């Protein structure tokens, strides 16, 4: 069924390998708007969206945005950790990236898609989900809205009103 709006951010524990960071937990994201991005090395549109993560990190981290990239294998060849590490280097992925070879994080999010973007507010409540090859283009306005709500001390209820 998938996560519903206002759902708490599921656990990000259970990944098999981490790049660009030591292992993180949900506590590392508490109090910050957070984008969780699912991707796979076998997904062409996922690779195309990776530079956007870096741009968003550069543009919005000073406003409090945190980003986590989750590599979700879609097929056996995607479980090759060395290949994932190579892709992280080749695409110069800057945000922390966790490899979820056992689908522990993927299952917690009830995620079935790549690329997929989950945006959580500073209270760790889901504010937006977008998936598919055009998803990255639709995510940025939501990031800006959630950050504006966070900057202005806008409550989650008020943020919903602003979105309508």
CA separation, residue 94 to residues 58, 62, 112 (Å): 9, 15, 24
pLDDT by 10s per residue, the chain, length 164: 578 999 999 999 999 999 999 999 999 999 999 999 999 999 999 998 999 999 999 999 999 999 999 999 999 999 999 999 999 999 999 999 999 999 999 999 999 999 999 999 999 999 999 999 889 889 999 999 999 998 875 444 444 544 55
Distance CA 30, CA 68 (A): 13
DSSP assignments along the chain, one per residue: --PPTTPBPPP----SEEESSS---GGGGTTS-EEEEEE-TT-HHHHHHHHHHHHHHHHHGGGT-EEEEEE--SSGGGG-HHHHHHHHHHTT--S-EEE-TT-HHHHHHT---SSEEEEE-TTSBEEEEEESTTHHHHHHHHHHHHHHHHHTT--HHHHHHHH-
Q: What is the distance, to the nearest Å, from the Cα of residue 118 to the centroid of all Cα atoms in its chain?
A: 5
Round to whole Å and give the CA distance between 20 and 1.
Answer: 31
**pLDDT of res. 156:** 47
Domain locations along the chain = 17-23+30-163
Paired strand residues for 126 = 120
The whole-angstrom separation of Cα 143 and Cα 16 is 28
Is the domain spanning 17-23+30-163 CATH 3.40.30.10? The answer is yes
């Amino acid at each position: 069924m998938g996560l519903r709006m206002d759902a708490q951010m599921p656990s990000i524990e259970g990944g098999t390998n981490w790049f660009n960071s030591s292992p993180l937990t949900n506590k590392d994201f508490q109090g910050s708007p957070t984008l969780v991005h699912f991707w796979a090395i076998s997904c062409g549109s996922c690779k195309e969206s990776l530079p956007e993560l870096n741009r968003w990190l550069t543009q919005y981290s000073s406003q409090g945005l945190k980003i986590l990239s989750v590599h979700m294998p879609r097929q056996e060849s995607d479980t090759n950790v060395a290949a994932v590490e190579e892709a992280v280097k080749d695409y110069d992925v800057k945000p922390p990236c966790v490899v979820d070879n056992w689908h522990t994080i993927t299952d917690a999010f009830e995620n079935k898609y790549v690329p997929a973007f989950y945006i959580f507010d500073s209270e760790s409540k889901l504010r937006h989900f977008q998936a598919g090859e055009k998803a990255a283009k639709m995510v940025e306005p939501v990031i800006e809205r959630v950050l504006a709500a966070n900057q202005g001390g806008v409550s989650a209820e008020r943020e919903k009103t602003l979105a309508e």
